[in-house]
Structure formats: C-alpha cells, structure tokens
Amino acid sequence: MEKSELMLEIYDLKKHFPIKKGLMQRTAGYVKAVDGVSFSIKRGQTMGLVGESGCGKTTVGRTLLRLLSPTGGRSIVDGVDIFSLSKKELRLMRPKMQLIFQDPYSSLDPRLPIGAIIGEAVAEHGIAQKKEIRDYVLKAMQDCELRPYQYDRYPHEFSGGQRQRVCIARALALNPELVVADEPVSALDVSVQAQIINLLRDLQEKRSLSYLFISHDLSVVEYISDTVGVMYLGSLVEFATKPELFKHPLHPYTKALLSAAPTPDPDAKTNRIVLKGDIPSPANPPPGCRFHTRCPECKKVCEEDAPAFKEHSPGHWASCHFAQ
Amino acid sequence: MSEAELNRGQKLRDIKRFNAKKYKELEQRLRHRSSPSEWEAVMKDSENVLEIDGLKVHFYTDIGTVKAVDGASISIPRGKSVGIVGESGCGKTVTSLSIMRLLQEPQGQIAGGAIRFNPGSGPAVDLSKLPQEKMERIRGGDITMIFQEPMTTLNPVLTIGKQLDEAVKFHSQKNSNGSRRIAARSVEMLKAVGIANAEGVYRMHPHELSGGMRQRVVIAMALMCDPKLIIADEPTTALDVTIQAQILDLLRSIKSKTDASIMLITHDLGVVSEMADIVLVMYAGRVVEQGPVREIFHNPCHPYTIGLMLSRPGVKSSGKRLYSIPGNVPNPVELPDYCFFRSRCDSSIRSCAGAYPPMARIDASGHCAACYRHVNDAGGASHGKK
Ligand SMILES: Nc1ncnc2c1ncn2[C@@H]1O[C@H](COP(=O)(O)OP(=O)(O)OP(=O)(O)O)[C@@H](O)[C@H]1O
Ligand SMILES: Nc1ncnc2c1ncn2[C@@H]1O[C@H](COP(=O)(O)OP(=O)(O)O)[C@@H](O)[C@H]1O
Ligand code: SF4
Ligand code: SF4
Ligand SMILES: [Mg+2]
Ligand SMILES: [Mg+2]
C-alpha cells in the first residue's frame, strides 16, 4: 500500500462519559470530555496538544487509538479508518500505533523484570521469533540508552527517568509509526526531562515517527512540536504551526495561556493576562462560547452563539467571534 | 551461607543497632526539660528573620542513614523572599519541615546545626532546640507554611470559617478578641486573597471548593496571625497554569503589602525568577550556589546551576539538542567526601579531588558558589566553614 502523507487524521472526534446516579446507576447526564475535535498530523511530524487539567487531552489520545470506545467521529491512521475495524483487524494495527503514559511509576508491572516487560508485546504480536526475543529486546533497550545488565532488574530499582525509558522502549519495540505520548516528561525533573526529550527526538529522526505530544508545559511543547493544538473544555480552540501559534495567537485563551507561563528571566516584563475564576466543569459547560465565563474580551454575542472553528489564514484555525 | 551474605546480615544488624541507639538518644532529649539558656540564641545579623547554620537532617532507615540535609546554611532577611530550587530529593521539603519541627520522628532527626529565628520582639531562639510546646505557639503563628496540596492543611470536616477562626483563637492572647470580631477578620482575609463570595465560602467545607480556591484559603489562613515568615513549599505545582498565575499574582501582592519574609520552595525556575529576591540552589542536601535573583539567572557559576538553566527547553533551544546533565544524583546513604557533583561535572579541575569545596565569593552582591572553579576568582573563597 502506498504511504499517505498524513499519518493521522481525526474528524469531529467525540467521547462522552455517562454520569451515573443513585442506586440504579441511572445515567443522569454526560461529561462531554471530548466534543468535536478535528486535526491531522503529517508523517514524521510532531503535534503538541496543550490545555489545562481535565480539558480532555488524555481522552483525545486514548479515543483516537480506540483504547476508549468513541462516541462519534472518525480516526484515520495511515489511511485506515480505525473505528470501522473489526477486533481482529484492530489487533493487527496495534503495533503501528502506541501510547506512552504520563506516570512511569504505575504503568510498569512491579512483578516483572524489565526484559519481560518490554518483551511481552513483542512476543504477543510475533514481532520477533521466540529464540530471538532476548536479542531483540536488548537492541530496543540499547536504542533507549538502557544497559544490557538492566534486562533482569525490576522496576522499583529504576529512577523515574529510567522507567520512562523503559516505557518508551516497550512502545518502540513494536516498530510503531504513530506514538501518542501523554505527558511523558511531566513527572520528571528538568534535567531528566531533557534526557527524555532528546531521546524522543533522536528516535523520531531515526525512524521518522509521528508524535502526538500531550503536555500542559508550553516550553516543552514549543521545543518539540511542528504544529500545536490548544484545547479548552473538550474542544480545540486553536490550531496552527508552532511559530505561527506562538507569534500570532488568535484565541484569547491561547493568549492567556502563553502569558501565564512564568519565564526564567528576572528582567522579562510580565504583561500577564490573569484570567478570572475557575475552569468550568465539563459536565456542565457554559452556553455560547465555552470560554466566555473567563474571557477578557467577551461580548454579548459570546454568551449566546458558539463561535465556529474557522481557518483564519492558511493552516491557522481558531474558534472565536473576534479572531483576526 | 556465603561470606557475602553473612557480611550483609552483619551490616543490617549493625544498622538496626545504630538506629535503635539514635531513637533512644532522641527520646532522652525529648524527656529532658530544657531551660531558656539552652534554646535562646543570638542572630548573626539582626536584619535576618531566619538563619540556618550547617543544618544536618538524618533519616535512620533500614538501609542506612539517609543524609537528606547535610550541612545547609540559609539566611532569610526581613521582608525578602528567598527562592529555593533544586531537583526532587535534594532536601528542600526536609529543610522546611525542620524549621517547622514537623519531621517524622524518630526516623527523621535534626542531627546538627542551628535554626535561629528572630521573632522581632523578644530574644531570638534556636528552633532546633526549642521544646515542642513552645514550638506549637510559633507554628501557624509567627511562622506559617503553605503546602503543595492544600488538603494537607485543611480539615475536611470543618467549615472554612471555623478553621480560620480557630487559627486566630489559638495564637492570640485570651479575651483580646471577641468571636464576632474574629469572624469578621476571617471574612476580610478571604476577600483579601481574592475570594469573590467570601461570606458564602466562610460557611462552606473544603470539598465544595476548587483546587485554586482551596489554596487561596490556605494562604488566607497563613496570613491570619501576621506571620514573620511564610514557608511556601511548591504552592502552585498542583495547580493549572492559569490558576497558578492567579496565585502567583496573589503572593506578589502579599509580598508588597506585608513585611513578612517568604521562603519559596519550587523546582520551577520560572516561578523563582518571578517571585524571589534571593535564590538558593540546593544539590544533594547542600546549598551549592546563592545570590540575588538576577545574578543567579544571568551569571550562574556552579556547574550544576549552569546545567539546570541549560536543561530547560525554550525558544532559543528549539531545533538544537537540549543540554542534559550526565549521570545521576549521588546516593544519600553514601555521600562522598569530595564535591557531591564531581561525578557529573564537566568542568572539574585538579583541586576537585580534595575535600568538599568551600563557599567561594563571586562578587560583593552576596553571590557565592561552592565550587573550586571559583575559589581563586574575585577575591578567593570566604572560608565560612572550617
Ligand atoms: N472514565 C471516566 N469517567 C468519567 N469521566 C471521565 C473519565 N475519564 C475522564 N473523565 C473526565 O473527562 C474530562 C477530561 O479528562 P482527561 O483525563 O482526558 O483530561 P486531561 O486534559 O488529560 O487532564 P489531566 O491534565 O489532568 O490529565 C475530565 O473532566 C475527566 O474528569
Ligand atoms: N520519611 C522519610 N524517610 C526516609 N527518607 C526520607 C523521608 N523523607 C524524605 N526522605 C529523603 O530525604 C531526601 C530529601 O527529600 P525531600 O526534602 O522531600 O526532597 P524535595 O527536595 O523533593 O522536597 C530524599 O533523599 C528523600 O528520599
Ligand atoms: S468568542 Fe467571545 S468569549 Fe469566546 S473567546 Fe472569542 S471573544 Fe472570548
Ligand atoms: S568543585 Fe569541581 S567537581 Fe565540584 S562542581 Fe566545581 S568544578 Fe565541578
Ligand atoms: Mg491527562
Ligand atoms: Mg518536596
């Protein structure tokens, strides 16, 4: 099959979680964790996805891989419509699209040595012959700068940074083409963060991987991404190439987010946009523009009409009535 | 059994015996009724609110003695905010818990050094030697603490108002304040930290508030008794960026309105650069560099500080590989007797093989670094410690 230029396309992705109430566990409503998100990632590129806690980043990542059953929309990985596959076909697709978790502590089975953790899925998907698995795993470990003697060690003997390397080795041992990295460095100290980011970039170059890089840290996203999407309460509010988004943000939320991050320069002037109030609950999002309760530029129309997600200049999308 | 196993068994027994001895010593110290002459102290500089001198904090664990803080010296001038940065495990929290005397005893103990506190009125005291009942008066009164997770401070079953009122009642002289006056002050304080519906929140329970509002309540509580020193340990780390911006704004305005000193602990270089007047960098239980915030950010001198600054991704580094400090932090059970950073340092020189480096003065601004690279620069080392 010919390789398509786009590694990932998602259209109007939706994931609603039912809210269960009472003894009968009646469905009393829905948390619209992801409510109509569309974007695409070119082969070999990295898209950063930013937004605050609970805005739906993780849910986007898991739903598009069909690790959660979607409520609606389409997810196309390398030309294949993931949501229309049978269980068996999906299983064959699995190695191609992998997830790296936020928490390197809880995502590794404490009872298994590192070699077995990495080798498990390799054997399951028949990626290497039984006799060759050990060599194959050692090679994958080497790619992630883990030492051969660590093959028989257990997770608790590893530091946070080393565990994250193990998670990366486990995902990359399956030769994926698309990797969803969900806050892969958020639990790590700055100096360890740098090692992991370098590793992810080196592996991308060597294997022309495509990443969806989820993070709440703008400096990390700015460093690693080609394109960036900004989420607020279940929707994408802005999408553009990295330089465009950081230089000419259109959406008031993006502007506030960019100005909110503290800069490590004591002389930098802080023209900070401090947003009022709290992030509303996704179970009960505000009507009209979802950002209107906190938006410093809110007008009457914003309280009633939801703005459309429009392309304002080539490749630069935003949903705000007054974006220009 | 092999010889190695026998040795290991012997070693573990030795550790157990040593720990038991340490527990006993602590028990004796706690039972001893000390007199003021034992804990009164004289500040080196009367402008300082707090002077930590060569503090050592040890944890006596089954695998050996963890030297969590190993000779840290920190001075906090009146009305200034001092930022403490360093990576996870370097001893920031343990230092602040020692000041508050909230270490998990008997495993954790102050094993040496002094923590002199200047309450403004009356003589200075050494907190490390103060009897617990005297400490209880200071804790939450003259010295207050804001933790990363607000629920460490808040009681889930009491209303916000009750908790704020209690803080004042406990620390103020009896009868000097009527209940109604106290309640009014609590509401006032909630307004001061930017809570819009202060009267309503006064009657609510913590679970009815968002994370950002809870942290505001904790800050209000910390301010209730006009503290001389506020210790904030990662006060915004658990919060979202836009809420973090609100809380940093609040802390900044408190800084300009009161003359309390702030000790701000964080691993976020951005947060310190915005909030602190003076920055201290900790590594493996010691302060390796300190100075005015501008000096530390524009002219970092210790190789570890330089490495930290370079590791942070930013616009300038885009496209290039990020700098990363090679290797790992030393094992706190087996700290070396030379520079703790030597095995990771890319600029070590011959003298680095010697004893732990002294604090070398960089310039007259108070900027110093514990590094041999700077011992002969700009006037040589100030041999503060023997
Ligand atoms: N299994 C679930 N059942 C009910 N609600 C859920 C479930 N998983 C997620 N949610 C809700 O969906 C919303 C989005 O969650 P998600 O974890 O995707 O956000 P996030 O942006 O990744 O947050 P964080 O930065 O905290 O990880 C949240 O309000 C969350 O509480
Ligand atoms: N209760 C404890 N028992 C044993 N070791 C501890 C305990 N609390 C902290 N430590 C150790 O003390 C060191 C410093 O920890 P801490 O001050 O919490 O670091 P941080 O700088 O991240 O706040 C670490 O090596 C840690 O493992
Ligand atoms: S549509 Fe209105 S409320 Fe929404 S972001 Fe734009 S200006 Fe703000
Ligand atoms: S004293 Fe030597 S080894 Fe230690 S940080 Fe300085 S140059 Fe490096
Ligand atoms: Mg998440
Ligand atoms: Mg800590």
pLDDT at B278: 96
Q: Say whether pLDDT at A134 is over 60.
A: yes
Of the listed ranges A297-306, B65-74, B98-107, B238-247, the one predicted with least confidence: B238-247
Question: Is the previous residue joined to B106 through a cis bond, with omega within 30 degrees of 0?
Answer: yes
pLDDT at B73: 94
* Torsion sign over Cα B149, B155, B161, B166: negative
Ligand 4 atom closest to the Cα of residue B372 is: 1
d(CA A292, CA A320): 10
Could you say which of A160, A191, A256 has the minimum Cβ distance to residue B311?
Answer: A191
More confident residue, B382 or B276: B276
Q: Say whether pLDDT at B166 is over 50.
A: yes
Answer whether B248 sits within 8 Å of A262, measured CB to CB.
yes
pLDDT at B386: 31
More confident residue, A87 or A4: A87
- pLDDT bracket for residue B71 (50, 70, 90): very high
Q: Residue ranges per domain, chain B?
A: 149-224, 286-377
**Which residues of chain A neighbour B308 with C-beta distances below 8 Å?**
190-191
Answer whether A222 sits within 8 Å of B294, measured CB to CB.
no
pLDDT at A162: 85
Q: What is the DSSP string of A192-256?
A: HHHHHHHHHHHHHHHHT-EEEEE-S-HHHHHHH-SEEEEEETTEEEEEEEHHHHHHS--SHHHHH
The gap between the terminal CA atoms of chain A, to the nearest Å, is: 41
Answer whether A260 sits within 8 Å of B328, measured CB to CB.
no
Cα(B370) to ligand 6 centroid in Å equals 23
Percentage above 90 pLDDT, chain B: 56
Helix axes B211-223, B160-171, angle to 10 degrees: 20
Host H or E run for residue B26: helix B3-31
- pLDDT bracket for residue B176 (50, 70, 90): low
Question: Does A146 contact B at CB distance below 8 Å?
Answer: no
Give the number of the ligand closest to the Cα of residue A232.
Answer: 1
Q: Say whether pLDDT at A248 is over 50.
A: yes
Percentage above 70 pLDDT, chain A: 99
d(CA B144, CA B254): 14
pLDDT at B173: 63
pLDDT at B347: 92
3-state DSSP helix/strand/coil % of chain B, to nearest 5: 40, 20, 40
Q: Say whether pLDDT at A311 is over 90.
A: yes
- Residue found under tokens 């400490």: B135
pLDDT at A267: 84
Q: Say whether pLDDT at B213 is over 90.
A: no
Q: Say whether pLDDT at B137 is over 80.
A: yes
> Residues B248-252: contacts with CB within 8 Å, 24+ apart?
B248/A262, B248/B274, B248/B275, B249/A272, B249/A274, B250/B193, B250/B194, B250/B216, B250/B219, B251/B219, B251/B275
Q: Say whether pLDDT at B384 is over 50.
A: no
Mean pLDDT of chain A: 91
d(CA A75, CA A62): 11
* Torsion sign over Cα B167, B172, B175, B177: negative
Q: Which of A231, A232, A298 to mutate to test the pocket of ligand 3 (most atoms within 8 A of CB)?
A: A298
B32 phi and psi angles, rounded to 5 deg: -60, 125
Could you say which of B243, B322, B328 has the minimum Cβ distance to residue A194?
Answer: B322
Residue B134 Cβ inside 6 Å of ligand 4? The answer reads: no
Q: Say whether pLDDT at B366 is over 80.
A: yes
More confident residue, B289 or A281: B289
Average pLDDT, integer, range B166-184 = 77
**Which residues of chain B neighbour A223 with C-beta distances below 8 Å?**
313-314, 317-318, 322
Q: What is the pLDDT of residues B14-24, one digit of tens each?
A: 999 999 999 99
d(CA A288, CA A300): 10
Q: Say whether pLDDT at A12 is over 70.
A: yes
What ipTM does the predicted assembly reach? 0.83
pTM over 0.95: no
Average pLDDT, integer, range A304-322 = 95
Answer whether B249 sits within 8 Å of A194, measured CB to CB.
no
Distance of residue B309 Cα from the nearest chain A Cα, in angstroms: 9
Q: Say whether pLDDT at B218 is over 50.
A: yes
Cβ A7 vs Cβ A210: under 8 Å: yes
More confident residue, A240 or A21: A240
Of the listed ranges A6-20, A254-268, B162-176, B222-236, the one predicted with least confidence: B162-176
Q: Work out how many CB contacts closer than 8 A connect A with B.
A: 115
d(CA B171, CA A113): 54
Q: What is the pLDDT of residues B232-259, one digit of tens each?
A: 998 988 788 888 888 888 888 888 888 8
Answer whether A278 sits within 8 Å of B213, measured CB to CB.
yes
Of the listed ranges A33-47, A145-159, A204-218, B70-84, the one predicted with least confidence: A145-159
Q: What is the pLDDT of residues B302-317, one digit of tens each?
A: 999 999 999 888 655 5
Percentage above 70 pLDDT, chain B: 94
Mean pLDDT of chain B: 88
Q: Say whether pLDDT at B377 is over 80.
A: no
Cβ B50 vs Cβ B229: under 8 Å: yes
Residue of A nearest to B90 (CA): A189
Q: Say whether pLDDT at A156 is over 90.
A: no
Cα(B90) to ligand 6 centroid in Å equals 9
